[in-house]
Amino acid sequence: MSSAARDANPLAGQPAFLRIDDVVKDFGGGAIAVSHVSIDIAQGEIFALLGSSGCGKTTLLRILAGFETPTSGRVLLEGRDIGALAPYERPFNMMFQSYALFPHLTVWDNIAFGLKRDGMPKGEIGERVGAMLRLVQLDRYAKRKPHQLSGGQQQRVALARSLAKRPKMLLLDEPLGALDKKLREQTQLELVNIIEEVGVTCVMVTHDQEEAMTMATRIAVMSEGKVLQIGAPGDVYETPATRFVADFIGNVNLMEGSVEVDEPDHAIVRCTDCTHYVGHGITGTIGMAVGVAVRPEKISLHAAEPAGMQEPHNKVQGQIKDLAYFGSFTVYHLELPSGAVLKISESNIARHRENALTWGDTAWASWPPTAQVVLTQ
């Protein structure tokens, strides 16, 4: 990643706790899993590597752990190159998606396992395991075996075991991938609270956007071995740097068009079905091809044509072709004159809507001048 990505570091101007410096992993035969990745991670961060399968995120995590050797580049911890250190020599602990708990050992013995292997005195082991059990709120389950626990409890045991040795860094590989949706949502915040209470620096790998957005301090979005954008979850969602990032993070309407006006305080982009009045300049050139991204929740739906300050921009008429009710919100699919579909998400604030729009209705969609992101990549 360029130096611009490092500027987004929450500890800009201070030495990075972990520095991934121009790392490349080439497996040969044209299979470049990691391509010139540079990331600075601050102490105490929960940093997420986010991307679809095959993007290189797991390979990068394995390089940090010492399970893979980079073709080129360096990994520095507190300024020290740790490339020559074997996995067991690195002050890291890795928690796998499967948890890898010993089925024949109790919860207490699973957490104590690494401490015993390190030769820690018995009294200290008892104190440390007791502290970990209290931290993950599993004191009363100490004598149970893993098969007697729920998935969420097993996950907390694995976390306690990973933290028991007080590593400088915790590596999480799809930490909640084995849990069902409801339990995963509940466990996300529990996991963050535990990690923050301990104060350990954490790098996690996930393909789940919601998981990354909920848990991470910052996110690196990866594709084809490269880091496309680094930023806080809200920044990546609201101001994506590329079409790929905009489409990968959450739902988005992407419209292709060209720049008609570009002034310091506004721009106008003409697309097939509508024109966009954007409330800031984009430092582009007239006629330049761009993409316009608008999140569904930024769009309002109306039965009649809305009157706006940016007439005749930022609105379009179409026909409702589909809708889905999700309880707290409803998603509408508005078919536009070109045949393109505009996704609109409206909160269900009132229990019952009067004159609610439905399938087949003609409707208008509108959005404010701050809703769009203009994309050149």
Question: Residue 77 domain-assigned?
Answer: yes
Q: Which residues contact 36 (CB under 8 A, 6 or more apart)?
A: 22, 23, 24, 73, 226
Q: In this structure, are 261 and 236 located in the same domain?
A: no
pLDDT of residue 96: 79
Structural domain boundaries enclosing 306:
252-375
Question: Residue 121 domain-assigned?
Answer: no
Question: Residue 141 domain-assigned?
Answer: no
Taking the C-alpha atoms of residue 72 and residue 21, their distance in angstroms, rounded to an integer, is: 9
Q: In this structure, are 230 and 305 located in the same domain?
A: no
Q: In this structure, are 260 and 246 located in the same domain?
A: no
Q: In this structure, are 230 and 277 located in the same domain?
A: no
Tell me which of 222, 250, 278 is where a domain ends.
Answer: 250
Q: In this structure, are 246 and 288 located in the same domain?
A: no
Tell me which of 203, 229, 250 is where a domain ends.
Answer: 250
pLDDT of residue 3: 36
Cis link prior to 15 (omega < 30° from 0)?
no
Q: In this structure, are 86 and 234 located in the same domain?
A: yes
Using DSSP's 3-state secondary structure scheme, residue 233 falls into helix
Question: Residue 225 domain-assigned?
Answer: yes
Angle at 198 between CA 192 and CA 202, to 5 degrees: 55
pLDDT of residue 11: 58
pLDDT of residue 13: 65
Using DSSP's 3-state secondary structure scheme, residue 187 falls into helix
Q: What is the pTM of this model?
A: 0.90
The domain that holds 364 is classified in CATH as 2.40.50.100
Query: Look-up: residue for tokens 């536009």?
Result: 336
Question: Residue 129 domain-assigned?
Answer: no
Residue 342's nearest CA partner among 282, 272, 269 is 272
pLDDT of residue 1: 39
Q: In this structure, are 224 and 313 located in the same domain?
A: no
Taking the C-alpha atoms of residue 131 and residue 220, their distance in angstroms, rounded to an integer, is: 33
Question: Residue 160 domain-assigned?
Answer: no
Taking the C-alpha atoms of residue 275 and residue 76, their distance in angstroms, rounded to an integer, is: 49
* Number of residues that this document lists for the chain: 377
Question: Residue 345 domain-assigned?
Answer: yes
Q: In this structure, are 220 and 366 located in the same domain?
A: no
pLDDT of residue 314: 96
Split into its structural domains, the chain has a count of 2
Q: In this structure, are 84 and 217 located in the same domain?
A: yes
Q: Give the pLDDT of the chain (377 residues) as one tens digit per residue.
A: 333 343 455 656 678 999 999 999 999 988 899 999 999 999 999 999 999 999 999 999 999 999 999 999 999 999 999 999 999 999 999 987 778 899 999 999 999 999 999 999 999 999 999 999 999 999 999 999 999 998 889 988 999 999 999 999 999 998 877 677 777 787 888 889 989 999 999 999 999 999 999 999 999 999 999 999 999 999 999 999 999 999 999 999 999 999 999 999 999 999 999 999 999 999 889 999 999 999 999 999 999 999 876 889 999 999 999 999 999 999 999 999 999 999 999 999 887 777 789 999 999 999 999 999 999 99
Tell me which of 203, 224, 250 is where a domain ends.
Answer: 250
Residue 180's nearest CA partner among 200, 150, 135 is 150
Q: In this structure, are 246 and 323 located in the same domain?
A: no
Question: Residue 315 domain-assigned?
Answer: yes
pLDDT of residue 307: 85
Q: In this structure, are 326 and 308 located in the same domain?
A: yes
CA quadruple 212, 213, 216, 222: dihedral, nearest 10: 50
